[in-house]
Chain A
C-alpha cells in the first residue's frame, strides 16, 4: 500500500503552474463552475452533454496540468462508480412511450442497449461534475476561493449571517488539511514500522487498526488548534469588524470573455437537453 496519500489523493490540491485559467478571477471561475454544474443537470443524453464535454476538454488543455495527473485523481471515483453503475443499468426503466427490447430480463431486472447507454451517460455526468470542481481547485488558491466567496456572499450579512467569520473558519480548517495529511502519513508510517499491516485483514480488522492512528492525530490536532487561537489573537485578530484586505479582485476583459464562452456552450447544452431530450 502507498503511504503517500498526498500523491494519490489529488482532490482539493492547488497545482501551482501558470496558465490563463489560474489567472482568471476566482468569482468568475466559481460562477462558471456553478453554471456548468447547473446546465449538466439539464442535459438529457449524449448529444446535449457534448457542449459540456467540450468545455471540460478546453479547461483541461488551457490549465496546462498534465492529463495523467488529472486522470489519476479519478481512480477512486471510477471504482466507486463501477460499483453503482451496474445497478442503474439493471434497474433501467424506459421512459413512457419508448419501446425497449431487452437482451435479457428477469423480475424487475433487465439488460438493454438503452439501459447501458443510460448508465454510461450517468457516469459521464458524474465525471464531468467532478472534473469541473476539481479544475476549480487545481487552479485557484484557497485564499482566492475564500475571498471570492466572501464577496459573493456579502449580501447574506444583511441576514445577520457572519460571513467573514465563516470564511475565516473555513480558511483555517483548510489550512489544517495538508498538515493533518502529513501527520496521518507520519503516524501510519510509525505504526507500520511497529509491525501493523494496514493492507491486511477484513473491514472490521482494518477499522480497528485505524483507531490507534486517529487518537494521536486528534490529540495533536487539538493541541495545534489551541496554539493557533493564541497565535491569531497575538496577531490582533478580532473577527471581521474593521478588518481590511490587501487583496483586491478585479474583473477584466479576459474574465468576461472566458465566462461568455462557457455560458454560451453550457446554455446550448441545457437548451438541447430541454428541447430535444437527447
Chain B
C-alpha cells in the first residue's frame, strides 16, 4: 500500500547549508501491517513519518500511498489517508471540547453533517470516550488526551496511522494501554499502523520491525529476526528487550532454550519444563533489607498534610490527602507512584511552593508555615529539579544559568565561579568548554544536566529530582541514570528521587514511599515493595523489566520471588529453579 522508493530528504534543501536527514530509503508496507520504526534520535524516523503524512516532501525519490504519488498537489488526499498522531497530545488538540476536537478533521474534509456525526460517534465508541464526550480537554488527564488525539485521527478514517513517538513522554502504564489500542485498531479496522519508538520491549508482538540508523534503513524483518541479531543492534547502540537477554544468558548456561525469547510469557513456557528444583514454600531468598527508618528527629517531617487544587471553586480537586512521612538526613528516598498519585504535589508542598490546607510540615522540628519562618531560606536548602527542567532554562549561556543562584545570593565572583565549576563538573560538563555555550544550542540531555547543575550551584541540603529520566531516549536515560546514581552517592546530600517505575534509580533508595490517589499507600525498602509486586502493578506503578518478568513467572510458578532487582539477579534465580537441568 505504501511504497517508498530511493527517498532522500535534506532539511534546508534550498539553503547554502543543507542537512541530510534521510539517504536513499526504500520500503514497502502492506495494508493492515503493524510496523515498528525503531532508532535513535536523529536516525531519520520522524522525518520519514512526516514525509509519509505529506506534511513534508522528499528532496529526491518517490513515495506513493495507495497508488497516489505524494506531491504538494495531492497532499490533501494523502493526509486523508495517512493519519499522524503526535508525541504530545496537547500539540495536536485544537478544539476545547472532546467531541468538537474529534469533529475537526471530518469538518475539514467538508463531509455532510450526518456523516461527521456518525464518524465522531464511531471514533468515540472505539476509543471508549463515551463518558467524557462533552468534557473540556483542559480538564482531562494525559491518557485521556492521548485517546482523544487518536480518536480525532480515527474519525478521518485513514488507511494508515502513524504514531510519532507517542510513548516517550508518558507514564509506562499509559504507554501500555496505547499499544493495546494500536493492536485493537489494526485487528478490528484492518488499518496499517506505523509506531515510531525508542523502546524495544514495546514492539515484540508487532508484525514487522524497521530499524533506522543515520538516515538509512538498517534492518527490516520480524521481531524474531531483528532481536536475533542483537550484536548488530548493539553495534549501533540499540538494545534488545531484557527478556531476550535473559534467554541468551540462560542458553549460555546450557539450558535448552530456543532463541530469541521475546516476551515473559515465552520465557515462562520455555523454562517451565526445565524447572525441576521448585521450592514448595515462597521465596527462600529474600534480599538483604536496607537500613530501616533511623531514630531521632527527622529532617523533614510531614504530618497529615492535605492539599487541594482550585480549593473552594467548582473545579476543586485533591492533590494530596492526609500524607504522613519522614525524611532523615543523608538518606536516599524514592517517592513512587503512578500518574495523578500526588508525588509532584507533595514535593511542591515540602518547600512551601504550595501551602498545605491542613496538617503540618516540620523542617528540623520547626513548622514551615509558622509565623516569621524564613521560607526563602528553606527554598535554598531544598533544591528541586522539576520534570523536564530543560524547558525552564532562561539565561543565554550555560555559565549564566548555572551561576543564577550564586549571583542572587551576591556571592563573590571567586566563590561563584568555584560553585559553577564544581556544579558543572558534578553533572559531567567541563567548565571551560561549556561556560559560554548557548543554552538553546545544547542537546536535550545536556540541557537537563545544565538544569541540574543550576540547582546544585544553590548548595542545597536536599536534592529532589522529579522524574529525572522521563522523556529522554534510552541512551539519554542510561546516561542520566548513571549521573543521578553518582550524584546520590558522592554528594552526601539527602536525595529524593520521584518516579513512576521501580528502576535502577529507585533501587538506590534506602527507603521508598509509594503514593496512590494522593495518599501514602506503602512504605519500606525496595525489596519490601517488590514482594508486593501485584499491588504495585495494580496501582499503575511500573516494575523494573526484571521484576516484571519475575511477576509473570510467579503466575505460573507460585513460589517464584518477585524481589529481583536486575538481570543478574533474575538469571541467578531462574538458574536455581532449574538447578538439576544444569547437571
* Cα separation A242 to B79 with both chains bound (whole Å): 16
A207: chain B residues at CB < 8 Å are: none
Structural contact, B454 and A194, CB atoms closer than 8 A = yes
A172 at the binding interface (Cβ < 8 Å): yes
Q: Are A65 and B108 in contact, CB atoms less than 8 angstroms apart?
A: no
Pair B310/A235 contact, Cβ less than 8 Å = no
Question: Given contacts A175-B96, A231-B91, is CB(A4)–CB(B310) below 8 Å?
Answer: yes
A197 B107 Cβ-Cβ under 8 A:
no
Contact digits for B374-394, partner A, Cβ 8 Å, 1 yes 0 no: 001001101110100101111
Q: Is B111 an interface residue (CB 8 A)?
A: yes
Point out the residue from B94, B113, B152, B405 that lies within 8 Å of A244, measured CB to CB.
Answer: B113
- Distance in angstroms between the alpha carbons of A6 and B138 in the assembled complex: 12
Q: Which of B88, B107, B383 has the most CB of A within 10 A?
A: B107
Q: Is the CB of A175 within 8 A of B95?
A: yes
Contact with A along B520-554 (1 / 0, CB 8 A): 00000000000000000000000000000000000
Closest residue on chain B to residue A192 by CB atoms: B353
Residues of chain A with a CB closer than 8 A to B109's CB = 236
List B contacts of A108 (CB < 8 A): none
Interface 9-residue window, one of A45-53, A75-83, A129-137, A214-222: A214-222
Q: Is residue A237 within 8 Å, beta carbon to beta carbon, of the partner chain?
A: yes
> Which chain A residues numbered 119 to 154 have a C-beta less than 8 Å away from chain B?
141-143
Check A216–B380 contact: CB distance below 8 A. Answer: no
The reply on B86 being an interface residue by CB < 8 A is: yes
Chain B 75-98 per-residue mask, 1 if CB under 8 angstroms from chain A, else 0: 010011001101010111111110
Query: Whole-angstrom distance from the CB of B2 to the nearest CB of chain A?
Result: 16
Contact with B along A211-255 (1 / 0, CB 8 A): 011011001100010011011111111100011111110000000
Q: Are B94 and A186 in contact (CB under 8 A)?
A: no
Q: A195-B376, A246-B113 are in contact. Are A216 and B392 (CB under 8 A)?
A: yes
Chain B residues with CB under 8 A of A215: 394
Are B386 and A244 in touch, CB under 8 angstroms?
Answer: no
- Contact status of A171 and B454, CB under 8 A, knowing A4-B310, A245-B113: no
Contact bitstring A177-199, B, C-beta under 8 A = 1, else 0: 01100000011011111111100
A-B contact count (CB 8 A): 166
Q: Judge whether A186 and B386 touch: CB under 8 Å.
A: yes
Q: Is the pair A16, B136 in contact by a Cβ cutoff of 8 Å?
A: yes
Q: A238-B108, A244-B107, A248-B113 are in contact. Are A6 and B386 (CB under 8 A)?
A: no
Contact present for B440 and A244 (CB under 8 Å): no
Distance A66 CA – B382 CA, assembled complex (angstroms): 39
Of the listed residues B97, B117, B152, B395, the one surrounded by the most CB atoms of chain A closer than 10 A to its CB is B97
Tell me which residues across on chain A come within 8 A of B104, comparing CB atoms: 235, 237
B11 within 8 A of A: no
- Does B174 sit at the interface, judged by CB under 8 A? no
Q: B120 at the A/B interface (Cβ < 8 Å)? A: yes
The distance in angstroms between the C-alpha atoms of A163 and B383, with both chains bound, is 50
Interface 0/1 of B103-137, CB less than 8 Å to A: 11111111111001100100000000000000110
A6-B310, A68-B312, A193-B383 are known contacts. Are A14 and B107 too (CB-CB below 8 A)? Answer: no
A175-B96, A186-B386, A235-B152 as given contacts; A228 in contact with B391, CB under 8 Å: no
Contact B314 A15 (CB under 8 A): yes
In the bound complex, do residue A230 and residue B55 qualify as a contact, i.e. CB atoms below 8 Å apart? yes
Separation in Å of the A185 CB from the closest CB of chain B?
10
Say yes or no: is B242 at the interface (Cβ < 8 Å to chain A). no
Question: B53 an interface residue at 8 Å Cβ cutoff?
Answer: yes
B209 CB within 8 Å of chain A: no
Task: Please measure, in the bound complex, the distance between the C-alpha atom of A192 and the C-alpha atom of B83, giving whole angstroms.
Answer: 41
> How near does chain A come to B504, taking the closest CB pair, in angstroms?
26
Give the shortest distance, in Å, between A13 (CB) and chain B (any CB): 8
Is B153's beta carbon under 8 Å from chain A? yes
Q: Which residues of A contact B392 (CB under 8 A)?
A: 186-187, 190-191, 216
Can you list 18 A-B contacts with CB-CB less than 8 angstroms, sorted by A residue number?
Answer: A7-B311, A143-B96, A143-B100, A186-B386, A192-B353, A193-B386, A194-B404, A195-B408, A197-B376, A227-B91, A232-B94, A233-B79, A235-B152, A242-B110, A244-B112, A244-B113, A246-B106, A246-B113
5 new A-B contacts at CB < 8 Å, known A66-B314, A196-B408, A235-B79: A3-B354, A65-B314, A174-B96, A235-B92, A244-B107
Chain B residues with a Cβ under 8 A of chain A: 50, 53, 55, 76, 79-80, 83-84, 86, 88, 90-97, 99-100, 103-113, 116-117, 120, 135-136, 138-139, 152-153, 156, 309-315, 348, 351, 353-354, 376, 379-380, 382-384, 386, 389, 391-395, 404-405, 408-409, 440, 454-455, 458
The 3 A-B pairs with the shortest beta carbon distances in the complex, nearest first, are: A231-B92, A246-B103, A212-B394
